[in-house]
Every structure is written in C-alpha cells, then in structure tokens.
C-alpha cells in the first residue's frame, strides 16, 4: 500500500502541471482548477486498481479530470448568460484570426464557450490529443469530436467578430 502510494505520488508529480493547466483552461478559474485537479487525483488513486491497460493511463487520467471539471463547473454554474449575435457565413472576413487586435479579445471569446467546448479545444489544439483519445476522454463518438471542434472554432471566430462590433449588439440577460 505504501509502495503503491509512493508510485502514485511520482505519477501525480509528473502529471500535475499538465492536469492543472487543462483544468485552468477548461474552468477559467484558478481556485476551481485547484479543486478539480485534486478531485481527479483522488479519483485516480481510488480507481487505479481497475485500470487494466497502463498504456491508457494518460487518457484515463484526462477523462477523470474532465469529469471533475464538469462537476466543478456545474457547481459554479453561471446564471447569467451573454447574448452575442453572430455573423452569417457570407459576411465573414476570410480569416478573422489575422484580425485579432489583442490577446484579451481571444480570452473573452474563449471564456464565452461552454466548459465542454473549452475541454474539446484544449485537448485537440493545445494538448494535441488524437481524435480517438479525445473521443474516449469526452465520451463522444469520433465523428462528433471532429464536427463539434469545427463548430466550436467557428463559434469562437463568430464571437470574436461580435466582440469587434459596437456594444449595441450585446445584451445582458438576467
């Protein structure tokens, strides 16, 4: 038991930076990321004996973390939503990425995505997790991972476009 815990501690030390970064990006809140990372590590320790394929440790750990993030997000769910009208396809600029004025704008757009969308973007674009593993981590069919990532990127671009327009297009809802 003590030896097991020592080995687990080594694994946790090796994974903590990656896990915490993923949680921070998904939750966009340091304190919530702390909690989700802790919960995922405790769940991993509890469930470690049932992991049959050690080669799948990382996707498995990511899955536990994503679940912990969703739980954390649902505990702190936002009751207030922000309406942002998005631009029809035909009026979009060729590549809004080239037009981004500052990093804060990207941050604001990213914050408006749901935790599920942020998890998908972080896994695929930041961590470059293969589609198959992403599907397993998020509990989605592989085709859905591809289509949803495409849609999320489009939505993020549309949100950035909306951010560029005058504030009259944004309405806060109770």
Contact between 119 and other proteins (CB under 8 A)? Answer: no
Q: Is 131 or 166 the residue whose CB approaches other proteins more closely? A: 131
Q: Is 170 helix (H, G, I), strand (E, B) or coil?
A: strand
Q: Is 65 or 166 the residue whose CB approaches other proteins more closely? A: 65
Contact between 93 and other proteins (CB under 8 A)? Answer: no
Q: Is 49 or 166 the residue whose CB approaches other proteins more closely? A: 49
The residue among 50, 57, 43 whose CA lies nearest residue 15 is 57
Query: CA 119, CA 47: separation in Å to the nearest integer?
Result: 22
Contact between 144 and other proteins (CB under 8 A)? Answer: yes
Query: CA 34, CA 104: separation in Å to the nearest integer?
Result: 23
Contact between 76 and other proteins (CB under 8 A)? Answer: no
Q: How far is the CB of 146 from other proteins (least distance, A)?
A: 11
Please report which residue ranges of 91-130 form alpha helices under DSSP H.
103-112, 115-121
Contact between 81 and other proteins (CB under 8 A)? Answer: yes
Q: Is 83 helix (H, G, I), strand (E, B) or coil?
A: strand
Q: Which two tokens stand for residue 48?
A: 């470690």
Q: Is 47 or 165 the residue whose CB approaches other proteins more closely? A: 47
How many residues belong to the site for other proteins (CB under 8 A)?
85
């Amino acid at each position: 038991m003590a030896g097991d815990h020592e080995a687990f501690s080594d694994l946790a030390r090796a994974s903590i930076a990656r896990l915490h970064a993923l949680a921070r990006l998904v939750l966009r809140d340091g304190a919530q990321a702390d909690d989700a990372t802790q919960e995922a590590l405790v769940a991993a320790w509890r469930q470690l004996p049932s992991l049959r394929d050690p080669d799948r440790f990382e996707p498995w750990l990511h899955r536990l973390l994503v679940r912990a993030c969703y739980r954390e997000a649902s505990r702190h769910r936002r009751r207030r939503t922000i309406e942002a009208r998005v631009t029809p396809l035909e009026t979009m600029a060729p590549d809004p990425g080239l037009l981004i004025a500052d990093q804060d704008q990207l941050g604001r757009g990213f914050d408006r995505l749901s935790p599920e969308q942020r998890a998908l973007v972080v896994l695929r674009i930041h961590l470059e997790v293969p589609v198959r593993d992403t599907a397993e981590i998020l509990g989605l069919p592989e085709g859905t991972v591809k289509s949803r990532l495409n849609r999320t990127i489009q939505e993020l671009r549309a949100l950035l476009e909306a951010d560029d327009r005058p504030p009259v297009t944004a309405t806060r809802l109770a």
